[in-house]
Amino acid sequence: MFIPRGFGERWIVTKLGRMVYYTAQGEPWNEHTPTAALVFLHGFGGGSSAYEWSKVYPAFAADYQVLAPDLIGWGRSEHPPRSYQAEDYIGIIIEFMEQTCSVPTTVIASSLTAAFTIRAAIERPELFKSLIVTTASGLGEFGKDYRRSGFAQFAQVANIPLLNQLLYGTGVANSFGIRSFLEQRQFANAARVYPEIVEAYLQSAQRDNAEYAALSFVRGDLCFDLSSYITKLTVPTAMIWGKGSEFTNPNVGRQLAAMNPQAIRRFYYLDDVGFTPQLEQPAVTIGLIRQILPLLE
């Protein structure tokens, strides 16, 4: 179990199945009822889940109602066997906001999910108070498209059910595969990958049907060009970008921010993290979020 102390599991029903989320419901948080909320959305990769934000979101439980879901196909939420598309997750984010947030709410989101969240905020701006996004990319911006990478093209060619399961089981859903991905692609400093992180990702990766969402990501089925949408964003936004992002360097973020300075009001560059600063440098991430929140009011 990797749920922080004082947090428990709840769920909603979406069009794609049951979606689990974590929120404060025990000691030491049960003596008050915050009026404002923060939603934390994890990114994608083998074994991703709300654990990604679990070193950060407890720091806000005294002042906010914290909501941290496992997106459909990940963590403890349902894993329907299907080929996932970007529109599935944009719709799921909107459904989650509609069912759990009664007023416009700040959403803090990571990587590809951050790009989905920006599109959700463009489609339904009334649901969102502000956005704080880390490494927000659809992985198809400015001529550098992940779908043309060797790994994505191999996964597309090898898209046969039994071969898919073999690829996932041998390359992703084991301790070696998880640790290798975290050390080589997700973290800037491999020494920060400790056993609990690997075990949390592994437990998520080994759930029944976990390969469907993961392989949709690996094949590039979820990718798109965020620059085609970013000028339509009206919700106040801050971007955080790590220098060590494997697929999207900070210049992508700066170019996106420059396309819509009215909405994207802050851009923060961290030179010693990869694309999940919330796991690699949680204390720094907490401090930065606290600094950003009043600036987006």
176-199 pLDDT, tens digit per residue, is: 989 998 998 899 999 999 999 999
How far is the CA of 207 from the CAs of 56, 168, 210, 291, in angstroms?
A: 24, 12, 5, 37
CB count in 10 Å sphere of residue 181? 21
Rounded CA-CA distance 14/94 in Å is: 10
Question: What's the average model confidence in pLDDT over 14-35?
Answer: 88
Question: What's the average model confidence in pLDDT over 97-118?
Answer: 97
Predicted pLDDT at 165: 65
Rounded CA-CA distance 13/9 in Å is: 14
How far is the CA of 122 from the CAs of 90, 215, 282, in angstroms?
A: 10, 27, 29
Tokens of 39: 């939603």
CATH class held by domain 7-295: alpha beta
pTM of the predicted model over 0.95: no
Question: What's the average model confidence in pLDDT over 157-170?
Answer: 58
Question: What's the average model confidence in pLDDT over 154-163?
Answer: 50
Predicted pLDDT at 158: 47
| Residue 157 clears pLDDT 50, i.e. is over it | no
Predicted pLDDT at 166: 61
How far is the CA of 59 from the CAs of 65, 124, 127, 263, 290, in angstroms?
A: 11, 28, 24, 27, 10
Rounded CA-CA distance 260/283 in Å is: 29
172 pLDDT band (50/70/90 cuts)? confident
85 pLDDT band (50/70/90 cuts)? very high
Predicted pLDDT at 205: 93
| Residue 151 clears pLDDT 70, i.e. is over it | no
Predicted pLDDT at 154: 46
Rounded CA-CA distance 205/159 in Å is: 19
218 pLDDT band (50/70/90 cuts)? confident
> Nearest-CA neighbor of 74 among 200, 219, 240?
200
Q: Given the structure tokens 């392989």, which residue do they identify?
A: 215
162 pLDDT band (50/70/90 cuts)? low
Predicted pLDDT at 46: 83
Predicted pLDDT at 99: 97
| Residue 33 clears pLDDT 50, i.e. is over it | yes
Predicted pLDDT at 2: 87
Peptide bond into 104 cis (omega under 30): no
Tokens of 234: 């009206």
How high does pLDDT run on average in the chain?
A: 90
Predicted pLDDT at 171: 67
Residue type, 211: E
| Strand-by-strand arrangement of the 7-14 sheet | 7-14, 17-24, 65-69, 37-41, 105-110, 128-134, 237-242, 264-270
